Structure 1
Amino acid sequence: MNPQLTWHASLPASRLHAAWAAAAGRAIVDPTLRERVAQPGLALAREMAACGWPAEAAWTHLVALSPGVPNPRELTELVWRKLRGGSCPNEAAVAISGHLRAILSAGDDEAQSARQLELRTRPLREQWEARGPGLMRALADFTEPDLLVERADVLVVSPATGGDGRAHALYNSVRIEGLLANADPRLPEVVRLGWLLAQLNLELPIFSEQVDQRRLPRLGELATLPAILRAAEEVELARLDAATVQLALDSWHITAPPLAELPALLLSWWSTYQAGRPRWAIALRALDQMLTGG
């Protein structure tokens, strides 16, 4: 199965992605963008925390929804309903939407910025159309066909950090920075995109029912890492070895437990999974236990 992708070059998502990165302490490579989004991004993060918004979920909602809801006040109220329910208090709505407005207006020539982002979308899209179908077929062969979504939205955002991306399982979408060339030839961006897409179906009960839902996002990132690298190895895009696993952990900014031998652990888990081919849900539970010592 090859997921049907709808591509979007989104300035609102780009600016919120950059603000998220700044608030998370990531290095913003463009000094002008850093100057414009860092302060409102940090202020927004503080305000969200004061309102009881869980940071990861809040940023996911904001980035994923922003292409269709660019109005800051409407976006604030929509995310409030999703996270807290009911109506957003006016004081909170004014504060959050004010920070959002500062972030979403952090640009000069909107038309030129939009054109540049469209140009940045083209290389990744062309690479995906050439190599993505084979990569995802291999992924289905090495895991389960139902792990692949039928369709998804790809939000291409400006390269705030020089290479990053996140999956939005609730919205069946991913965001990925539009690089004109691979950040590292050992790990092409098309493989990063495949890894993000591989995470979108993990919230289905058939895959996630046996693990703690609070750990599922991080667990999904780690479980799909050796899976997508094995698929990439099959189609000669990357290798599945300890060095490449570590490279992916670093390059893809995966939040992982502080385990010194994490690449070896992931490779051991993957080898055991391939030898027995249990259901993916059982394999996820086994990895969860290995990571938590359960």
Structure 2
Amino acid sequence: MLEELRWKTSPAATALYVAACRASGVAATDGMLAAALATPADALIAEIDATGLPRTELLAEITSLAAEFENNRELVTRAAARLHAAPLSSPTATRIAGAVGELEAALGGEQPNLAEELAARVRPLREQWEARGPGMLREIGRLTDEAIVPSAAEIVIVLPYAGGRGLAHPRQNRITLEGVLVHPHPQLPEPLRIAWLLAQLNSDLPRYADALPPGRSAFAFAVALAPATLAAAQEVELATCDEPALGSAFEAWGLSGSLPADAPQRVFNWWNAWLDGAATWPVAVAALERLLA
């Protein structure tokens, strides 16, 4: 059961989130922000590529830690260590940290009042979440596995880049969330995205990760939790849980590009089989991963 949920903002996380999106090929909906940060973001990506480390994984780690560290060199070093990579050489860490600083400076030039703008984006999302979100998260645990729900978590609000998106960071029990002011997908209000992301934070527990092929647990759980989130939202009258809604969720939550075209049908059938079956959640998610592989 989620007992503590902290909300915070981070201009640094916003800058790095933009780079993470560019590195993953996520299309921007804010053209001005994308244009202002394209050059320094690509320079940071190039520095990371030169190390041989996986760009998407390292940028996700740097983004997840950005709200904790003001020293960019320490930020970069800690993030690389989280990937269990060989320690970065001093010159390499310095170059990457310098690229992070350039990216942050470019964002500051484009958005001089960013701290105030981010703060203004927290309250609407927090109020929407507090109305029905906790009940929805409890229902996800009831429908899947009570251990799915973390006891404490943190939400870091960043500027919207892709018109509504977010990242789950299980190592930090933290999610990065675009602070949209309107629901980009009215049939899927933002509290659903928040619940879906929060429910992924325990996906790295051995009882779950050990049941899946290395490197596949996070994605498999993200897919498996989509119908669970819709079912929970249906209980609190925020959404419906059916095959078309599942297809919309895959698209809205950034999953569709990595799934087969018939994924909504496959996953919805899997979800109904899970509700009727007697398997444990880790076993069921492993079966889903094989179904989609």
TM tier relative to shorter chain: over 0.9
2:113 is paired with a residue whose SS is helix
Report matched runs for 1:14-33 at 5 Å.
14-33=14-33
Q: 2:273 is aligned with what amino acid?
A: T
For residue 177 of structure 2, what is the aligned residue in structure 1? 176
Report matched runs for 1:132-143 at 5 Å.
132-143=133-144
Report matched runs for 1:260-271 at 5 Å.
260-271=261-272
Deviation at 1:181, TM superposition (A): 1.4
Q: How many residues align?
A: 292
Q: Does 1:223 align with 2:220?
A: no
Distance in 1 between the 2:57 and 2:247 partners? Answer: 26
Distance in 1 between the 2:248 and 2:70 partners? Answer: 35
Distance in 1 between the 2:260 and 2:110 partners? Answer: 46
Structure 1 runs (4+) greater than 6 angstroms displaced: none
Deviation at 1:70, TM superposition (A): 2.6
Contact 1:23 1:38 in 2 (8 A): no
**Structure 1 133/277 Cα, relative in aligned 2: closer, same or farther at 3 Å?**
farther
For residue 92 of structure 1, what is the aligned residue in structure 2? 92
Q: 1:237 is aligned with what amino acid?
A: L
For residue 65 of structure 1, what is the aligned residue in structure 2? 65
For residue 187 of structure 1, what is the aligned residue in structure 2? 188
1:38 is paired with a residue whose SS is helix
Contact 2:20 2:56 in 1 (8 A): no
1:25 is paired with a residue whose SS is coil
Deviation at 1:213, TM superposition (A): 2.4
Distance in 1 between the 2:144 and 2:84 partners? Answer: 36
**Structure 1 260/98 Cα, relative in aligned 2: closer, same or farther at 3 Å?**
same
Q: Percent identity, aligned pairs only? A: 34
Contact 1:218 1:256 in 2 (8 A): no
Superposed CA deviations along residues 161-181 of structure 1, whole A, max 9, x for unmatched, are: 110001001111111101111
For residue 118 of structure 1, what is the aligned residue in structure 2? 119
Contact 1:22 1:37 in 2 (8 A): no
For residue 245 of structure 1, what is the aligned residue in structure 2? 246
Deviation at 1:210, TM superposition (A): 1.5
Unaligned 5+ runs, structure 1: none
Q: 1:143 is aligned with what amino acid?
A: T
Deviation at 1:14, TM superposition (A): 0.9
Unaligned 5+ runs, structure 2: none
Contact 1:58 1:83 in 2 (8 A): yes
Deviation at 1:81, TM superposition (A): 3.0
Contact 1:257 1:291 in 2 (8 A): no
For residue 5 of structure 2, what is the aligned residue in structure 1? 5
Deviation at 1:263, TM superposition (A): 0.1
For residue 233 of structure 2, what is the aligned residue in structure 1? 232
Deviation at 1:56, TM superposition (A): 2.7
Deviation at 1:85, TM superposition (A): 5.0
**Structure 1 83/204 Cα, relative in aligned 2: closer, same or farther at 3 Å?**
closer
Give the TM-score normalised by the residue count of structure 1. Answer: 0.93
Give the TM-score normalised by the residue count of structure 2. Answer: 0.94
For residue 50 of structure 1, what is the aligned residue in structure 2? 50
Contact 2:128 2:191 in 1 (8 A): yes
Q: 1:17 is aligned with what amino acid?
A: Y
Superposed CA deviations along residues 76-134 of structure 1, whole A, max 9, x for unmatched, are: 22223333556422331232112111111222387721111011011110111111111
Deviation at 1:3, TM superposition (A): 4.4
Distance in 2 between the 1:63 and 1:221 partners? Answer: 19
Contact 1:3 1:148 in 2 (8 A): no
Distance in 1 between the 2:161 and 2:218 partners? Answer: 23
**Structure 1 47/108 Cα, relative in aligned 2: closer, same or farther at 3 Å?**
closer
